[in-house]
Amino acid sequence: MDTLTALGKFREHVETYVKLNDVEWQALAPLLEVNILKKKKNFAEPGKVCNQIGLVVKGAVRYFLVKNGEEITGYFSFENELLSSYKSFLTRQPGENYIQALEDCQIVTLSYKAMQQIYGDVLIGAKMERFGRLIAEHYLICYEDRVSSFVTQTPEERYNKLMETGGDILQRIPQHYIANFLGITPVSLSRIRRRIMKISA
Amino acid sequence: MDTLTALGKFREHVETYVKLNDVEWQALAPLLEVNILKKKKNFAEPGKVCNQIGLVVKGAVRYFLVKNGEEITGYFSFENELLSSYKSFLTRQPGENYIQALEDCQIVTLSYKAMQQIYGDVLIGAKMERFGRLIAEHYLICYEDRVSSFVTQTPEERYNKLMETGGDILQRIPQHYIANFLGITPVSLSRIRRRIMKISA
DNA sequence: AAAAATTCTTATCTTTTGTTAACGTTTTGA
DNA sequence: TCAAAACGTTAACAAAAGATAAGAATTTTT
């Protein structure tokens, strides 16, 4: 995908939250970068401050951390979704997890420095401040739902829900990552799948 | 606590995120209300849109929903913490959970209407927009950590963590609510506690 | 093309959790 | 104050999940 199209995707994404006129977009666009992240390469690493927020324009990434020598996957981002070690990005403290490309990715990034600069911009600051609020609110709701699913649902119910609403996650992502995402082991997910197969058969 | 002191608590809370001068505070204060919420009374209910965000000035509340005829507790708010069915508040859709006073509470509230009005205010709008962003970011980080705890920790590890960092939660909140909060049954939590007792004895 | 690594399933065994019920204690409310 | 409700622990059993290992199928790498 060429740079201009990629930037356009970023504009589209911003505009799902706040409308921009062309002048405002001209103020924002120069601060963006379009990057390639090859499969297995890291966008963020534990111990390092995450200095970018990004929009996945093409590809998919996986969030994970290493515990007892094992990788535990907590999240994914796909096309037209933001990615960032957001806590690290916001707090300016070293992050705890990797963000790694599952496929070759194209990512439009905005640096923390540019983000702060733009919050203070007379022309577009207020709108970006609102954008910042709305994306935080958006992801807050996502996390709220996810916490609720852990408290109120069994692993099997969570998996069923993911089949209904997860889009192409189940096709694109290796199953043992999905298991982590659901808070269970890969072996356990395999058993759940078998239980479901038997019931529906 | 008298009204003025309660309002002062609200100002203090806002000022942990953005500083306000007296003029700005005079624009904000008239939009606030100080309410009493008696024990067992609901601040929010499923099926109703949550029209207020509130600051707990005194007391504590519990978030729960009813599933299969049973109450499942997902969260709490204590003194100097915000409370709201935030998803419902933001999306203007009916909420799914109760927010109920665990003790007699004093709560400073700000309505959705007032919040939108203040976002558009020339004098203080930009600052409140930033406040809205920062609290969303703050709670986003809280939820992110909580999701992470479900994915990477066992119930026993979550309980140990809560003992270390949970402040007076364990003293103030009935244990079966804590169990829900940790994503397990009350019986299971009782067993975990016994295991820990034996080990440390 | 062959070797290595990854992925998923299945089996076995152990541990943990869920479920239900009983019991004593404490708290609540009429 | 007295009965009812709520709370925490324990027990017994069933269900589910974790740990480990083996094996087949697929994908990746060399």
Q: Are residues A172 and A122 in the same domain?
A: no
Q: What are phi and psi of A71, to 5 degrees?
A: -80, 130
Confidence of residue B68 (pLDDT cuts 50, 70, 90): confident
Provide the shortest C-alpha distance from residue A90 to chain B (in Å): 8
Taking only the tens place, the pLDDT of each residue in B149-181 is 999 999 999 999 999 998 889 999 999 999 999
Give the minimum alpha-carbon distance from B115 to chain A in angstroms, rounded to a whole number. 13
Same domain flag for A28 and A120 = yes
Report pLDDT digits (tens) over A167-194.
Answer: 889 999 999 999 999 999 999 999 999 9
Question: Using CB atoms, which residue from A72, A73, A90 is nearest to B141?
Answer: A90
Q: Hey, are the CB atoms on A130 and B129 less than 8 Å from each other?
A: yes
Span CA (B64) to C1' (C22), Å: 28
The mean pLDDT of chain B is 94
Instruction: Residue B38: give its domain's CATH number.
Output: 2.60.120.10
Domain that holds residue B175: 153-201
Count the Cβ atoms, other than its own, within 10 Å of residue B180.
Answer: 21
Distance CA A89, CA A86 (A): 5
The Cα–Cα gap between B117 and A42 comes to: 43
Whole-model pTM: value is: 0.92
Q: Are residues B199 and B115 in the same domain?
A: no
Q: Does A157 touch chain B (CB under 8 A)?
A: no
Amino acid symbol at A159: Y
Whether A130 and A72 map to the same domain: the answer is: yes
| A158 and A84 assigned to the same domain | no
Question: What is the model's pLDDT at position A200?
Answer: 72
pLDDT tens profile A76-115: 999 999 999 989 999 999 999 999 999 999 999 999 999 9
Scan residues 40-59 of chain A and list those with Cβ within 7 Å of strand D: 40
Band the pLDDT of B201: cuts 50, 70, 90. Answer: low
* A185 in contact with chain B, both atoms CB, cutoff 8 A: no
Do B125 and B164 lie in a common domain? no
Q: CB of residue A155 closer than 7 A to nucleic acid strand D?
A: yes
Instruction: Kindly identify which residue of chain B lies nearest to residue A152, measuring between CA atoms.
Output: B72
Question: Which of A97, A140, A157 best probes binding to B when mutated, by most B CB atoms within 10 angstroms?
Answer: A140
Cα B147 from Cα B184, distance rounded (Å) = 15
pLDDT at residue A167, rounded to an integer: 84
- B78 and B169 assigned to the same domain: no
- Domain count for chain B: 2
Shared domain for B97 and B194, answered yes or no, is no
Residue at a domain's end among A111, A132, A152: A152
Backbone torsions φ then ψ of A128, nearest 5 degrees:
-70, -35
pLDDT digits (tens, 9 = 90+) for B108-137: 999 999 999 999 898 898 889 889 989 999
Checking if the pLDDT of A145 tops 80, the result is yes
3-state secondary structure chain B: CCHHHHHHHHHHHHHCCCCCCHHHHHHHHHHEEEEEECCCCEEECCCCCCCEEEEEEECCEEEEEEECCEEEEEEEECCCCEECCHHHHHHCCCCCCEEEECCCEEEEEEEHHHHHHHHCCCCCHHHHHHHHHHHHHHHHHHHHHHHHHHHHCCHHHHHHHHHHHCCCHHHHCCHHHHHHHHCCCHHHHHHHHHHHHHHHC
Task: Tell me the average pLDDT across B15-20.
Answer: 96
What is the rounded average pLDDT of the residues A121-131? 89
Same domain as B192, residue B116: no
Clarify whether residues B81 and B176 are in a common domain: no
- On the question of pLDDT at A68 being above 90, the answer is no
Nearest-nucleotide field for A192 (CA, C1'):
D16
- B80 and B44 belong to one structural domain: yes
Distance CA B76, CA B86 (A): 13
My answer on whether A63 and A94 are in the same domain is yes
CB contact under 8 A, B74 and A129: no
Please tell me if residue B130 touches chain A, with a CB cutoff of 8 Å.
Answer: yes
Nearest-CA distance A18 → chain B (Å): 13
